[in-house]
């Protein structure tokens, strides 16, 4: 009873400190009191992560805001990569930079066990930010065409990076809670669908420990803070960018009979392309063909020499992907031939394979996430036709799992329901509640990591 009483902080504050004896006694008891107060939240394993976050969230939010204010486009992430590398080095990891471009690879070996890869992306988008946040990006830069563009982390990669730093810090400072090898990577050029492939081609799985699992998260703009979602199997689409140049024969608009009008051919093609999904693909197979850009001509009374179209093509199954691209080529050639035009130029770029979450790994991750979030905050996500080159690591033979993180306050989502849809990812108006999101994401990913890299005693007992 006496010891319980002296462990109360308010009682210690009343302790007389008039002489050295009492001061020493006060210091010793203060240490015991601090230990007693910490015991309930100092549980080993994932249970300790929320308390750790409470003590560290301020520094992580500062990091998030710093990254948000300094976005860099795909293949230009030099300073972003340097900052991530610095954070990981300070945490105690062996860090290599310049992997597959501006890629960062950090390794921590912590005894026997499996190898887990945790991935974040680095790049931002050519979007002028309109959130009005005090830490909003004001960055302007040149894109690869030489045009001046605004730059914004409109897809949450700044939150992804901050989360991975938090997870890396925790695991580095709690090495008794896990055993194995942790590989943390900062991947460039995700928005271009090129970064993962670039890192793999630069020896990611040969120069560094080959992972037994790879896990990542992605923010959700339509999901409330506190919510987590998962999906085994397909969860993101094949993405292909198709550039088509229709060639014609230019001339005066008053004498179209002397020309071959590429704009008319392009107009016919746009309509023909819509029949591919509706008439050539099974209704149960998801597929999208969108003509996102069309440019031709220069003046009212001039028929130009060419017309350019840009398409995005989405699917899941490899055979559907192949069929879509083949049909696009066939219809493009037919449209040109029907007008007696020269053969058009058809170019594929920025292809990203569909993301297939390994079912066994995903169910294991889901079990952990459900325990962290609770049944009421955890659900299976819907299929998405968005793209994500995290899929490349799965195609390289590693079981992968990407889960979704809610980032928007429920009150904001409710307000949008009354008027409009919430700003989606890639919108100039999207922003997360960073602090609340990190308080969920860091403990969640820490728990997943510890489950996949259990400490020696647990691993030995088969737990």
Crossing angle, helix 157-173 and helix 434-452, to 10 degrees?
50
SS3 call for 148: strand
Euclidean distance between CA atoms 243 and 306, whole angstroms? 13
Which residues touch 200 (CB under 8 Å, ≥6 apart)?
100, 392, 393, 396
Do β-strands 302-303 and 287-296 pair in parallel, antiparallel, or remain unpaired?
unpaired
Euclidean distance between CA atoms 190 and 402, whole angstroms? 14
> Is residue 123 annotated as part of the catalytic site, yes or no?
yes
- Indicate which residue of 121, 190, 229, 350 is catalytic: 190
Euclidean distance between CA atoms 260 and 258, whole angstroms? 7
Is residue 64 within 8 Å of residue 160, measured between CB atoms? no
SS3 call for 209: coil
- Indicate which residue of 77, 87, 123, 350 is catalytic: 123
How distant, in Å, are the alpha carbons of 77, 86, 277, 380 from that of 124? Answer: 9, 19, 31, 27
* φ/ψ of residue 288, rounded to 5: -140, 135
Active-site residues, by number, are 123, 190
């Amino acid at each position: 009873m006496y010891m319980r009483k002296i462990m109360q902080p308010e009682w210690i504050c009343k302790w007389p400190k008039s002489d050295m004896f009492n001061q020493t006694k006060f210091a010793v008891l203060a240490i015991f009191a601090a230990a007693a107060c910490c015991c309930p939240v100092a549980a080993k394993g994932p249970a300790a992560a929320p308390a750790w976050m409470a003590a560290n969230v301020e520094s992580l939010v500062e990091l998030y805001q710093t990254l948000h204010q300094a976005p860099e486009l795909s293949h230009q992430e030099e300073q972003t990569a340097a900052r991530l590398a610095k954070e990981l080095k300070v945490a105690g990891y062996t860090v290599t930079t310049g992997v597959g471009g501006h890629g960062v690879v950090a390794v921590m070996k912590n005894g026997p066990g499996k190898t887990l890869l945790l991935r974040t992306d680095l790049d931002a988008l050519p979007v002028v930010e309109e959130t009005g946040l005090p830490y909003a990006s004001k960055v302007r830069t040149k894109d690869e065409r030489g045009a001046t563009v605004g730059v914004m982390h409109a897809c949450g990669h700044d939150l992804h990076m901050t989360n991975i730093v938090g997870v890396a810090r925790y695991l580095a400072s709690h090495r008794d809670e896990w055993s194995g090898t942790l590989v943390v990577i900062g991947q460039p050029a995700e928005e271009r669908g090129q970064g993962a492939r670039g890192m793999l081609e630069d020896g990611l799985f040969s120069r560094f420990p080959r992972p037994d699992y790879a896990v990542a998260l992605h923010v959700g703009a339509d999901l409330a803070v506190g919510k987590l979602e998962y999906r085994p199997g397909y969860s993101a689409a094949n993405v292909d960018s198709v550039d088509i140049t229709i060639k014609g024969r230019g001339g005066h608009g008053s004498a179209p009979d002397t020309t071959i009008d590429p704009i008319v051919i392009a107009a016919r093609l746009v309509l023909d392309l819509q029949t591919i999904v509706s008439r050539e693909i099974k209704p149960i197979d998801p597929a999208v063909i969108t003509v996102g850009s069309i440019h031709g001509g220069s003046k009212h009374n001039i028929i130009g020499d060419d017309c350019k179209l840009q398409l995005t093509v989405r699917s899941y199954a490899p055979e559907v992907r192949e069929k879509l691209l083949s049909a696009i080529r066939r219809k493009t050639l037919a449209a040109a031939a029907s007008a007696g035009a020269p053969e058009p130029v058809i170019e594929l770029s920025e292809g990203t394979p569909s993301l297939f979450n390994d079912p066994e790994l995903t169910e294991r991750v889901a079990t952990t996430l459900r325990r962290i979030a609770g049944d009421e905050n955890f659900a299976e996500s819907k299929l998405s036709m968005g793209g994500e080159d995290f899929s490349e690591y799965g195609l390289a033979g590693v079981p992968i799992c990407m889960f979704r993180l809610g980032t928007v306050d429920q009150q904001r989502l409710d307000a949008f329901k009354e008027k409009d849809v919430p700003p989606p990812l890639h919108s100039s108006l999207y922003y997360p509640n960073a602090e609340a999101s990190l308080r969920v994401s860091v403990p969640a990913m820490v728990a997943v990591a510890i489950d996949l890299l259990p400490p020696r005693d647990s691993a030995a007992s088969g737990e």
